[in-house]
Amino acid sequence: MQRPLILATNDDGIRAKGLRAMVNIAKAVGRVLVVAPEKVHSGQSHAITSTMPLRLRKVEENYFGEDVEAYACDGTPVDCVKLAMAHLLSGRPDMILSGINHGSNSSISVVYSGTMAAAQEGSLYGIPSIGISLLDWIDNPDFAPSISIGKKIVLQVMQNGLRHEVCLNVNIPAIPLSEIKGVKICRQANGTWIEDYDRRVDPHGGEYFWLRGKFVNNEPEAQDTDEWALSNGYASIVPIQPDMTSYAEIDRLKLEWKI
């Protein structure tokens, strides 16, 4: 029997070290096709390219090791998934893996995440999809714990599957594997990014701005959230879905508006 086909992508770009780590995970499970952005697309969420053409560039042979076919796309992470599905694949991949992201995608950050948007796009096709992020921003992080934990999670999903339109948001603390206490299935913490823009002036007198921000956990005492798990030495798994309907608000509006 043929081994499962894994589509790997990310939002940090085709040269990102985290993508190499994700390919390491994927190769342990099956055959691998990589389609990733040509450059960094962090914070692009579910953006797609519709006002200009997309281009694919085949990456040099064996860049990700033997038997891994790889392409760079000049679009977003979601573009990569869509283009792979429509143009490069004759059928459906058995799984889509996105990451390993360089930095956290826990709590409200999932809304902005290009990494998780690619996984969500896979879930819209009914393909089991997982986004993995490491809570480390240094230039050369240790991805070994993420690879070890990621392989176990991927094998579980490959064996048991996921519900249609559900994907997994996996975050892993930046601590040695021996210090990670385990994996917790969590809900997304109620958190907020408080943005600030650093105003500067260029040599021609024009002003420009750099985005800065600080994350605030609005429920630090809640022990069933991803933020609590990560702060207490656990890897977190949050199942997410694209349905943004507030069902409780539907009922309230019907009552108050008499509709």
Residue whose tokens read 């507030």 = 246
Condensed to tens digits (0 to 9), the pLDDT of residues 84-130 reads: 999 999 899 999 999 999 999 999 999 999 999 999 999 999 999 99
- The pTM (predicted TM-score) of the whole model is 0.95
pLDDT per residue as tens digits for the range 13-64 = 999 999 999 999 999 999 999 999 999 999 999 999 999 999 999 999 999 9
Q: Is 10 exposed, middle or buried (CB count within 10 Å of its CB: 0-12, 13-18, 19+)?
A: buried
pLDDT at position 89? 95
State phi, psi for 84 to the nearest 5 degrees: -60, -45
pLDDT in tens, 174-227: 999 999 999 999 999 999 999 999 999 999 999 999 999 999 999 999 999 999
Omega of the bond leading into 100 within 30 degrees of 0 (cis): yes
Element (H, E) at 168: strand 167-172
Ramachandran sector of residue 4 (left: φ over 0; alpha: ψ -120 to 50; beta: rest): beta
Q: Has residue 258 got a pLDDT over 80?
A: no
Rounded CA gap, 36 and 69, in Å? Answer: 12
C-beta atoms surrounding 73 within 10 Å: 25
Question: 10 Å Cβ neighbour count for 172?
Answer: 29
Amino acid found at 227: E
pLDDT of residue 160: 96
Instruction: Give the single-character DSSP code of 48.
Output: -
Residues 6+ apart with CB under 8 A from 62: 68
CA distance 203 to 32: 47
**Cβ within 8 Å of residue 227, ≥6 positions away:** 106, 107, 189, 191, 217, 220
Count of alpha carbons within 13 angstroms of residue 61, beta-carbon side: 1
Supply the DSSP string of 189-223, one letter for each residue.
Answer: P-EEEEEEEEEEE-TTS-EEEEEEEEEEES-TT-T
Q: How many Cβ atoms from other residues are within 10 Å of residue 197's Cβ?
A: 11
Encode burial over 213-237: b for 16+ CB neighbours within 10 A, e otherwise.
eeeebeeeeeeebbbbbbbeebbbb
What are the C-alpha distances in Å from 132 to residues 59, 117, 146, 245, 258?
A: 23, 12, 8, 25, 44
Please state the rounded mean pLDDT for residues 249-255.
89
Domains of the chain and CATH, by start? 5-189+221-257 (3.40.1210.10)
Phi and psi angles of residue 96, each rounded to the nearest 5 degrees, phi first: -120, 130
In whole angstroms, how far apart are CA 148 and each of 32, 109, 115, 117? 18, 24, 19, 23
pLDDT of residue 238: 98
Give the separation between CA 178 and CA 88, rounded to whole angstroms: 40
